[in-house]
Structure 1
Amino acid sequence: MFSFRVVILILGCLRLTEAATNVLNHGDKLNSNSSDYLVSRNGAVALGFCKQEYGQTWDGKQFGYYLAMWYTEDKSNRSIWLANRDDPIADDSGVLIVDTTGLKITRTGENPIRLFSLQSTSITINSSDTKLVLQDTGNLVLQGTNKVLWQSFDYPTNTFLPGMKLGVSHGARLSLTSWLTRSIPASGSFTLEWDPIGNRLVVQLRERVLWTTGEGFRNIPPLDPLSMNYNFTHVSNPNEQYLYYTLAISQFTPEERRKNARLVLFYDGSLLGSKFVLFDSKTCAGDRTDNGCDRWEGTKCRNKGDKFEIRSVRYPHTDSLNNTLLGNISLSINDCKDLCWKDCNCLGVNAMMDLGCQFLSGPYQEGGLEATSYQVIIRNGSRSKTWIWILMSIAMALTIVVLFSTVFYLRRRQRSREEEMFLLDLMTSDNTSDIRELQTGNKGHNLDIYTAQMIMSATNGFSPENLLGKGGFGPVFKGTFRDGIEVAIKRLSRGSTQGLVEFKNELILIAKLQHTNLVRLLGFCVQGDEKMLVYEYLPNKSLDSFIFDESKRKLLDWDKRFSIIEGIAQGLLYLHKYSRLRIIHRDLKLSNILLDENMNPKISDFGMARIYKTNEAGTNTNRIVGTYGYMSPEYAMDGIFSEKSDVYSFGVMVLEVVSGRKNRSRFEFDRPLNLVGYAWELWKHGAALELMDTSLSGSSPKQYQVLRCITLGLLCVEDNPSDRPTMSDVISVLNGEMQLPLPKHPAFSTESRIVEENVMDKEMENYSVNGLTMSTMDAR
């Protein structure tokens, strides 16, 4: 049996009295500067504000306050859940409150910590009916009209409790994350995750697997017969794949069961129960594969059997040390070991430092009066110098043969390799501002970098059955990863008319954009000839597949269409005004508006998008891209684009959504007209409502809203860009907060072919695919 001394952060929490309740009703508050707390119905679990007793917080503060949960029988107040582990409150001003906005923690001098926002859910509830309930299981549940709106079990920290899930549930990944150090509860280096494919629990150090329970939990050491019996259950269905456990005990009291029920992922990666050790991280030092350990694979300089060991070290020269990351308080000793393992110049790390990295990178000696404890990489034996010389000679000979035999091949591949190296440099450069947006961490957006093998497996080898469509960028495939997550994958084809420029453009731009009405990029792949973008999978495909389909558009009543128009406007306002970059999309159309499972719109396809400065009135381009019928006149004729170009495209889309007809449809009035011209003529004659889609007649649409949208659409497509409203004005008009001016004669209102002549007689192809829409214009 392993021996292990359990050290868990002790929080200074107020002692309980008999006046506690398990419910926080709407409008009630839980204060950190008083004796307020919640206690579950049977008195097993308590919730309240606690003060960190020792150590430093991740940002260097000497203490912090946390909203914590603990078992009342545990006199040391060891936490089983923390609401704000990565954001400690500086003083005792914290207040937990349930109000009309949801569930949040307010504090003096800083923004609230929002645990749940009512605006984030599509469920219609009466906010005054919401209440927070602390259950005996250790689950904190926000309820509203007999519905669970939020629960702490969906946001586990470092403690696994009976009934809690680990795995994937309705698209959310549920896993444990260790603390940064033994005294700092911020998210640390280790995770405990459920692998449904291997039917096992996995402990990982960042991306590296350290230990697994093995299939059927065969690597769990034998427990004392008098200990708890853990019944683990695996659940798998189309929406969820997760593991949970219950306790099978009869000889223990309820208090003893609760006390010994938890499993804790310790700060060093060890997995502990209250009286036993499931996994001791010290036993998996990198050199073994028995008892569930995974050998530490690394760079070419790491040999099979190399491992970390604590040694007393003294160094003869100051340049034996590398202090580059010495002051980085977001790195624990475990992060430092991971970085050292990947660096061939690193011999070890300072084992006495809780935070920051001091690397041993030069000559050292063991022992002595001034020695310091280091985690040193111990090599598994030494190789014979003779064999080294033999291997070097063979390698040199092979290098010469390969060099001469591949010169011709390298010349042919030179251009594609330059493109690939440019992208790889983009992903690894420390001096490039773009890559900081692609890196994981608190400031990034956690884009995953996928291997070609992972995507091949997810798409069944790019099977034709997984093909969703084709476009100028290349084919788009549906993929399903091993954890059950469904994605849509854009694959750049070799003969694509949209090449590396569009790929980089879409990758860099969308990585910096975060909005509910923009399609979400999950990651990308750059490997050899393969360049792919991985997006969230949206099952309802694009808006044009509904609006322009005789049967499917009946599914969109007026309220839903109005909501879609509002959503597109909100996404466009974010691009123009509120995102960190000011973006002009340049290819807005219904086929680029995707619909999620709740028919909420998401703007997609940023391959043609451009960044512009806020003080620019308009920008010229010699390369006109986009789709005829949606391009503004100044862009189509003169190559001048601005945010008003997107406003023009938005106006065309509004008229199409209201009418159910394409802009390029032919209408007869007193002359051939397109949709914009037809809407203008009806509006001039006071008959604008005749433009409304006939399929809406049975849904009793709000006629004032329909008329407002038609007028707004005509204002957006006016010939002079300065006459068109901004997207801020559009939002105000849709909300009824702004009076509409009278529209003027719109641009491109007839069936004239002048635009196609101006763009060099190009032929346009549109492809509407699940989750992704591509447009390309090819010369005939």
Structure 2
Amino acid sequence: MVALLLLLCFFCLQLGAARDTITSSQYVKDPDAIVSAGNKFKLGFFSPVNSTNRYVGIWFSSFTPITRVWVANRNKPLNDSSGVMTISGDGNLVVLNGQKETLWSSNVSNGVSNSSARLMDDGNLVLRDIGSGNRLWESFQEPSDTMITNMRLTAKVRTGEKTLLSSWRSPSDPSIGTFSVGIDPVRIPQCFIWNHSHPIYRTGPWNGQVFIGIPGMNSVNINGFDIEQDGNGTFTLILNSANESYIGSFVLSYDGNFNELYWDYGKEEWVYVGRLPNDECDVYGKCGSFGICNAKYSPICSCMKGFEPKDADEWNSRNWTSGCVRRRPMQCERIQYGGEPGKEDGFLKLRTVKVPDFADRSLAVSEQTCRENCMNNCSCIAYAYYTGIRCMLWWENLTDIRKFPSGGADLYVRLAYSELDNRTTSMKVIIGLTVVVGAIISAICVFCMWRRIAHYRERKKRSMKILLDESMMQDDLNQAKLPLLSLPKLVAATNNFDIANKLGQGGFGPVYKGRLPDGQEIAVKRLSRASGQGLEEFMNEVVVISKLQHRNLVRLLGCCVEGEEKMLVYEYMPNKSLDAFLFDPLRKQLLDWNKRFDIVDGICRGLLYLHRDSRLKIIHRDLKASNILLDENLNPKISDFGMARIFGGNEDQANTIRVVGTYGYMSPEYAIQGRFSEKSDVFSFGVLLLEIASGRKNTSFYDCEQVSSLIGFAWKSWNEGNIGAIVDPVISNPSFEVEVFRCINIGLLCVQELARDRPTISTVISMLNSEIVDLPAPKQSAFAERFSYLDKESSEQNKQRYSINNVSITALEAR
């Protein structure tokens, strides 16, 4: 009896282990299906809409309507429900009909006798050798019409082989259609949509982060493309995602559109983001050679300056495919045909355009060298210089150019000298200008001599001050025991502070991404000479943060002080700051309530450490969404301690005549009286908590007649019993409603007008974790209502008089 039970248990375990796996003995027969281990994808038989044919496909298991991401027997459907997917005798994965005929096979030439196929949680069907565990084949190598996370499209320069997405023939016919999508790496890597072999759209060149022909494409998107290259000339286009909760896909439709979709958990439906081509100007070669397409103009096509339509009748009938031709020959052509050389050619600058197809990359390291290389070669007809790509040269007719409102690149087109704007000036004007300029130069010379003497005295004074400052800073840095990094080391790490490595700009100055020789990624905050913050804030941040160690505080790795250069070196945060997600209509979708609550909890624990648990009691004084950085897992880290103050052991509050911080986050007692304490940070945290729950900036209500801020809106909605109006629709979910409403209650408790009424941060943590079950009702919030005596006319005047500025206030005299 015991043996029988053990046999049954073993049999059940085998069945459970095989629910995501196909073997020769455990096959999938219509209408059965297998499901990936995490229940994310399903493989089975299906019939398209308006069709009775049967196919084997993979789709998202828990989303409706069903969205197929891969189809096996696309060109050989089953006409009944007798189909089976199994492992054949030669180890291949096959689809068989009722007569055991093979309709589809993985076609592994070096197959093995003992193999199995498993459906992975990323939607990839993988065939392996059971003995060695080696991958023999995978569905990601033979994609259908859909690209999902971790899928790869490859192209081999040497052989010309490509892995492509291919469209369905129609909504009811998944057989291979006429459209395909893939990467073309022959010159500079870029992606195309082809109709058969004819291009109908291209992305423009890849600059290492984005395709420069797609306006608004952002390299910091959580879900986005990347291109890798190996040493054998193989280029791979990869769809990445740093957030597992984000489900997105790119689908090539049967009519040639490449659509981007993502799953909206709140609406429980697929949401359309955009498509390519997006308009008529996206169509490849719409305006022919040397034509420019501008979707805002009518007609949309025009010839470049110095060019005219090749066929005027076709052009006037809005058939622009024949393109444009030059009006005047260039210098090289004139010499070739025995004409006078004339003056040297020049370049016409076309701003913010999609650069033409057929660009060649040059080794020129500067824009000036790029220009000279083109000018010195008679065959070169245009050039462009773009960060990440550098020099691009064109030797053929310029095709597929369009004008963008912003973004794109600047293109320089070679023209005959006579086609450029070279206006001659009359002799009288020249003489008049000479007299005027001479008088101005004389006055300038006198002024410069006077200023030179003043500057010499100022430089001498400043040099003495720098030497004194450096001496004081060295003493403080030695006490802080912080590593000092040399200026040449940071210049090399950031590629000489290349604009391509710039992460952002704050009140302190610009922040750059860098990489140290050991491979460690860093963020370098460089004090701007124009910054309102200076030596005091720099040293304050060094002294404060160097003594702090907590998982929710950004880590300071070192600093650099050389001459007038002052830099702080932090650990690199790949997802930038919280405001980049929270206030972005698309990226906020990645922050579900669970993730937002984790961020709130992390900020609280960082503040608790600052206020109570660290050796030093620290008041941050500038807590806001842009000062909350997010690591690769979206964990929060409090940053920017330039305004922080260290309290003594028995000190609870302090006064200052120099109020620093950001409007909208400052507590009333601090903004008006210069008095700050733990409760000042609690107020700022309350504003931040309301922003996280609502997905709106505190200042986004500036033009509202009813309330002046998010605090006012939340207070008004609370009193009216309409708390749901505060909640961000992205996280509006009945299962989280109680928890979200509780957080809004806590946020209103934190922004109460009187500091004594606000909870401490330790109490806030107890409230968030429901250790304190019954929350008190909040009292009057600070800055909640507009002044009642202001009439409509006064309100309108105020709107014209004041404006919102999101920069930090670094020096403000308190009233």
Give the TM-score normalised by the residue count of structure 2: 0.41
Larger-gyration structure (1/2): 2
Which structure's relative contact order is higher, taking Cα pairs within 8 Å and 6+ residues apart? 1
Give the TM-score normalised by the residue count of structure 1: 0.42
